[in-house]
Structure 1
Amino acid sequence: MTNKNKNIEMKSRKLHKLIGLTLVLPMLGWTLTGLVFFIKPGYQEAYEQLSVKRHPLSQVLTVAPKKNWQEVRLVNTILGAHLLVKSSHKVEHLDPVSQLAKPAPTNLQFKALLNDAFSDNKARYGDIEHVNGLSAQTSTGVEVTLDWQTLKLSQTGQDTKLINLLYQVHYLQWTPFKGINQLLGVIGLLLLISLTVLGVRLYMKPRS
């Protein structure tokens, strides 16, 4: 092997080592988070689809649909009957009798609606501690939000936030800036490809 080839090989080994050291933390993060994503511990509760509990209608209601209504749903909750209407890509929450916009619930009504929804999994949600508009914080640290127009609930606990953080680590979303995160992802992939190419090249290099 000539001195020139020896120098090229030494530089390749140094570069391979440098890239390997650079990727130690990302690779460790990818491996550990990938293991969590494969096993999915605690996913069921962390991403549970909390729903407003529906009850049988206590009375017969007749709804005359309007021409521009594309979808109509009549549901009954602990707060009474609700008419959910979709028209021209817009969802409306109406009173089924007057067909006027149904007013948002008071704090007491909101709590009653949540406690009814919590009854199937009281261990996760516990008791309501704070209410802020249509959002509530529970004694177990879960935040629950109500979309009144669609009558849908969403919940986020500490476990949900932890799993979301693991996804950010896995996909190199290490900053609050989308552009920088995308750049980090591209750099990480390029370094990984370079590490592979250098490793194969060094392995295939004939020994003298």
Structure 2
Amino acid sequence: MMVRRLHRIIGLALMLPFLAWAITGFVFFVKPGYAGAYEVLSPKMYNLDQAISIQPDSGWLEFRGFKTVLGNHLIVRTMSGWIHLDPVTLQQRGLPSEADLIRLVSDAFSANPSRYGKINTISGDSVTTDTGVEIKVDWSRLSFQQRGKDTARLDLLYRIHYLQWTGLKTLDKILGMVGIALIIILTLLGARLALRGA
């Protein structure tokens, strides 16, 4: 009788986590809305007007040259990180003006205008659109990172699925370990009940 009662109590305690895990697992399996939420937004590239001859520095680990609506760019990786250079002078290219940033980001939006819409506000390296998408611009790498409301929703489902409920890493790990221990106990109690009944 005690085994059955303990099995019932643990089963009830795990009902909500199991339900949350099953629902979020279904969402991860079907993947509705993933395409836009995790879409990679990149600057729109154009063909170079002419070949650019670049003599690489010995400190460069890698480099790439390309053209955007703002002209030619040279992105270099060194031991200390990424640097955005002018391909002609090989001098570090300063941050773009707000007008240039608008041109660069708006040009990239042409890949998916329904998602990105129009630029609403600019604050430093962050651009927010009228569709609620926020774009972070990494000028040293000339790359974008976009995040919308759908991204936040899917990230929340991820945290629910992987038992990251409190936001405190240590506490979440403890709760996860307790949950796993309860699942093992539930399984053993269920097996005992099944074997007893056989």
- Give me the TM-score of the superposition, normalised by structure 1: 0.92
- Looking at structure 2, the residues matched to 157 and 111 of structure 1 have their Cα atoms a distance apart, in angstroms, of 19
Residues 161-198 of structure 1 show CA distances to partners (whole Å, capped at 9, x for unaligned) of 10100010011101121111111111111111111110
Whether 2:15 is the aligned partner of 1:20: answer: no
Residue 52 of structure 2 aligns to a residue whose secondary structure is: coil
2:35 aligns to what?
44
Runs of 4+ in 1 over 6 A off after TM superposition: none
Partner of 1:117: 108
Query: Out of 78, 87, 92, which is 1:96 matched to?
Result: 87
Match of 1:156 among 142, 147, 161: 147
Within the candidate set 167, 170, 176, 2:167 is matched to 176
1:89 deviation in Å? Answer: 5.5
Deviation at 1:62, TM superposition (A): 1.8
The structure having more radius of gyration, on CA atoms, is 1
TM-fit CA distance, 1:98: 1.5
Aligned to 1:6: none
Q: Corresponding residue for 2:74?
A: 83
2:99 to 88, 102, 108: 108
Count of residues paired in the alignment: 198
One of 109, 124, 135 as aligned partner of 1:133: 124
- Cα deviation for residue 88 of structure 1 reads 2.1
| Structure 2 unpaired stretches of 5+ | none
SS at match of 1:205: helix
The one-letter code matched in structure 1 to 2:67 is N
| Equivalence for 1:191 | 182
> How do 1:141-152 residues align onto structure 2 when only pairs under 5 Å count?
141-152=132-143
What CA deviation, in whole Å up to 9, does each residue of 1:146-173 have, x standing for no partner? 1111111110011111010001001110
Please provide the CA RMSD for this pair.
1.2
Gapped runs of 5+ residues in structure 1? 1-9
**Counterpart residue number, 1:66:** 57
SS in 1 for 2:144: strand
1:113 deviation in Å?
0.6
Shift of 1:202: 0.7
Q: Identical aligned pairs, as a percentage?
A: 45
Matches of 1:136 and 1:186, distance apart in 2 = 40
SS at match of 1:49: coil
* Compared CA separation, residues 206 and 129, structure 1 to 2 (3 A): closer
Could you tell me how far apart the structure 2 residues matched to 1:60 and 1:20 are?
Answer: 68
One-letter code of the match for 2:148? G
